[in-house]
């Protein structure tokens, strides 16, 4: 009996809502029809000119601000890394670095976490270039219990690793992709450098594995577009040599860590 009353009441409320919406739509149609043609067109034009929020509910200005914060946070991560001599040496040799200021864990297992980061690569003159933004999905190993989040950085030690970012919009860094991704924590125990060196500021994020795989790396088109104020491909952003003052703090941090030396060989 109670369920019947609830369903009946719910149906009545739904019916009233539908009738009200129908009346509102009808009234709006009558008002629009009464307007002069020019006024109606001007109204539509004005609506189209209003900045619209993206699919994620953010505006272009908000995305640009988020890109700026990502650059500042990445610079802070690099300064932390540079305080470790072994990492400073790797930064000196790296051809590129992808920094995720905060990589979060939702649950244990593959693909259970993710984050958003920024990539910078060296140009032919050994100077650091302009940023491109990427997101990353899961790790194939690690994610031990108690590890919730922390910064990660991927040091790209040769051009082969850089090319994955330049020419692909959705890819993995793994043995299956033809790359050796070495856990920096294990390098200190005698491991040798690979194509990519993975570092984390959260102990245990990569577990105790000597090598790791990083999956579902995607070009963050919306954030990169917001940063540059125009549509650009990942390759265009990475190869750009135009002045970019907003990225100067990150370039300065990388320059300090690299000691101004030349890049590693391919």
Higher pLDDT, 65 or 27: 65
- 8 and 96 share one domain: no
Q: Are residues 43 and 64 in the same domain?
A: no
Tell how strand 196-200 and strand 181-183 pair up.
Answer: parallel
One domain, residues 127 and 18: no
Prediction pTM value = 0.72
Which conformational region is residue 142 in: left (phi greater than 0), alpha (psi within -120 to 50 degrees), or beta?
Answer: left
Same domain assignment for residues 30 and 145: no
Give the pLDDT of residue 95: 96
Burial class of residue 163, CB neighbours in 10 A (0-12, 13-18, 19+): middle
Residue 101's closest CA among 154, 173, 150? 150
Query: Is 116 inside a domain boundary?
Result: yes
Task: Please give the pLDDT value at position 37.
Answer: 44
Q: Is the residue at 197 inside a domain?
A: yes
% the chain with pLDDT above 70: 65
Least confident of 12-16, 91-95, 162-166: 12-16
Range of the domain at 39: 2-49
Shared domain check, 156 and 30: no
- How large is the average pLDDT for residues 74-94? 94
pLDDT digits (tens, 9 = 90+) for 186-237: 886 555 678 999 998 887 677 777 788 888 899 999 999 999 999 999 999 9
The answer as to whether 155 is a domain residue is yes
For residues 29 and 72, state if they share a domain: no
Contact yes or no for 71/254 (Cβ under 8 A): no
Would you state the pLDDT for residue 174?
85
What is the distance between the alpha carbons of residues 164 and 129, in angstroms, rounded to a whole number? 17
Mean pLDDT of 2-10: 39
Distance (Å, whole) CA 178 – CA 80: 30
Same domain, 80 and 35: no
- Could you report the per-residue pLDDT of 142-186, keeping only the tens digit for each? 444 445 578 999 999 999 999 999 987 889 888 888 999 988 988
Q: What percent of the chain has pLDDT over 90?
A: 43
Are residue 15 and residue 91 in the same domain, yes or no?
no
User: What is the total count of domains within the chain?
Assistant: 2
Shared domain check, 158 and 195: yes
Q: Are residues 21 and 69 in the same domain?
A: no
* pLDDT: which is higher, 248 or 211: 248
Same domain? 88 vs 193: yes
Q: What is the mean pLDDT of residues 24-45?
A: 40
User: Could you tell me if residue 263 is inside a domain?
Assistant: no
For 223-242, the DSSP string reads: HHHHHHTS---HHHHHH--S
23: in domain? yes
Residue ranges of the alpha helices (H) in 56-110? Answer: 60-82, 85-93
**Neighbour count for residue 210 (Cβ, 10 Å):** 19
């Amino acid at each position: 009996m109670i369920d019947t009353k609830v369903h009946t009441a719910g149906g009545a409320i739904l019916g009233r809502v539908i009738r009200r919406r129908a009346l509102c739509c009808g009234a709006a149609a009558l008002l629009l029809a009464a307007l002069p043609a020019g006024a109606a067109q001007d109204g539509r034009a004005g609506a189209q000119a209003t900045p619209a929020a993206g699919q994620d509910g953010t505006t272009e200005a908000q995305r640009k601000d988020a890109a700026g914060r990502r650059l500042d946070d990445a610079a802070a991560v690099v300064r932390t890394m540079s305080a470790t001599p072994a990492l400073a040496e790797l930064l000196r040799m790296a051809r590129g670095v992808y920094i995720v200021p905060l990589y979060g864990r939702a649950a244990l297992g593959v693909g259970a976490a993710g984050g958003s980061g920024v990539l910078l690569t060296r140009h032919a003159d050994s100077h650091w270039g302009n940023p491109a933004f990427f997101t990353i999905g899961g790790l194939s190993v690690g994610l031990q219990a108690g590890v919730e989040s922390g910064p990660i950085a991927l040091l790209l030690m040769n051009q082969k690793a850089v090319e994955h970012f330049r020419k692909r919009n959705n890819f993995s860094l793994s043995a299956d992709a033809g790359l050796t991704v070495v856990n920096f924590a294990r390098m200190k125990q005698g491991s040798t450098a690979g194509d990519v060196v993975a570092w984390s500021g959260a102990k245990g994020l990569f577990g105790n594995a000597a090598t790791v795989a990083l999956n579902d790396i995607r070009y963050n088109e919306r954030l990169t577009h917001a940063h540059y104020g125009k549509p650009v491909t990942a390759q265009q952003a990475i190869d750009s040599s135009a002045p970019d003052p907003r990225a100067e703090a990150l370039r300065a941090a990388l320059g300090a860590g690299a000691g101004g030396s030349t890049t590693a060989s391919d």
